[in-house]
Structure 1
Amino acid sequence: MRYHIHHKTSYTYNQPVFLKPHLVRLRPRSNSWQTLDNFFIKITPQPVGISEINDLDGNSLQKIWFTAPTEQFALEIESEIETHIDNPFNFLLEPWALKLPMDYPNSLFHQLQSYLRPYSAIPDAIALALAQDILHQEKQDTLAFLNALNQHIYKNCSYVVRETGDPWEAGITWRNKTGSCRDLTVLFMEACRAVGLATRFVSGYQEGDLATDDWELHAWAEVYLPGGGWRGYDPTHGLVVSDRHIALVASANPLYTAPVVGEIVPVSPFMTTGKLVQSAMQTQVVVRLQNAGMSMSQSLKST
Structure 2
Amino acid sequence: MQLAHELWHETAADPLAFLWQLNQRIFDRCSHEVRHQGDPYPPSVTWSSRQGSCRDMAVLFMDVCRAMGLACRFVSGYQEGDPDWEYRHLHAWVEVYLPGGGWRGYDPTHGLAVADRHIALVAAPCSRLTAPVSGNLRSGIGAVAHLEHQLSIACQAAQSPAAA
Greater percentage in helix: 2
Q: Does residue 131 of structure 2 align to residue 258 of structure 1? A: yes
Alpha-carbon deviations, 1:13-70, whole Å to 9, x = none?
A: xxxxxxxxxxxxxxxxxxxxxxxxxxxxxxxxxxxxxxxxxxxxxxxxxxxxxxxxxx
Letter in 1 for 2:74: F
Is the CA contact 1:216–1:284 (under 8 Å) kept in the aligned structure 2?
no
Aligned ranges 1:84-95 → 2 under 5 Å: none
* Residue aligned with 1:167, SS: coil
Map of 2:162 onto structure 1: none
Letter in 1 for 2:64: A
Structure 2 counterpart of 1:198, from 71, 89, 98: 71
Distance of 2:144 and 2:49 partners within structure 1: 32
TM-score (norm 2): 0.89
Residues 248 and 232 of structure 1, relative CA distance in 2, 3 Å threshold: same
Q: Does residue 114 of structure 2 align to residue 241 of structure 1? A: yes
Greater percentage in strand: 1
Displacement of 1:155 in angstroms is 0.3
Distance of 1:129 and 1:219 partners within structure 2: 24
Q: Does residue 152 of structure 2 align to residue 286 of structure 1? A: yes
Distance of 2:55 and 2:35 partners within structure 1: 9
Distance of 2:144 and 2:31 partners within structure 1: 32
Is the CA contact 1:181–1:218 (under 8 Å) kept in the aligned structure 2?
yes
Structure 2 counterpart of 1:215, from 70, 85, 88: 88
Structure 1 counterpart of 2:18, from 141, 145, 157: 145
Query: Gaps (5+ residues) in structure 1?
Result: 1-127, 270-276, 294-303
Distance of 1:292 and 1:145 partners within structure 2: 35
* Residue aligned with 2:62, SS: helix
Letter in 1 for 2:17: A
Is the CA contact 1:215–1:284 (under 8 Å) kept in the aligned structure 2?
no
Map of 2:56 onto structure 1: 183
Letter in 2 for 1:205: Y
Is the CA contact 1:162–1:180 (under 8 Å) kept in the aligned structure 2?
yes
Displacement of 1:247 in angstroms is 0.1
Map of 1:43 onto structure 2: none
Distance of 1:180 and 1:278 partners within structure 2: 30
Letter in 1 for 2:157: N
Alpha-carbon deviations, 1:168-212, whole Å to 9, x = none?
A: 110000000000000000000000000010010000000112232
Map of 1:232 onto structure 2: 105
Distance of 1:210 and 1:140 partners within structure 2: 38
Letter in 2 for 1:143: L
Aligned ranges 1:19-30 → 2 under 5 Å: none
Letter in 2 for 1:168: Y
TM-score (norm 1): 0.49
Aligned residues, how many? Answer: 159
Moved more, 190-199 or 207-216: 207-216
Distance of 1:281 and 1:176 partners within structure 2: 33
Is the CA contact 1:204–1:249 (under 8 Å) kept in the aligned structure 2?
yes
Distance of 1:288 and 1:210 partners within structure 2: 10
Displacement of 1:279 in angstroms is 6.6
Letter in 2 for 1:226: P
Over aligned residue pairs, what C-alpha RMSD do you find?
1.9
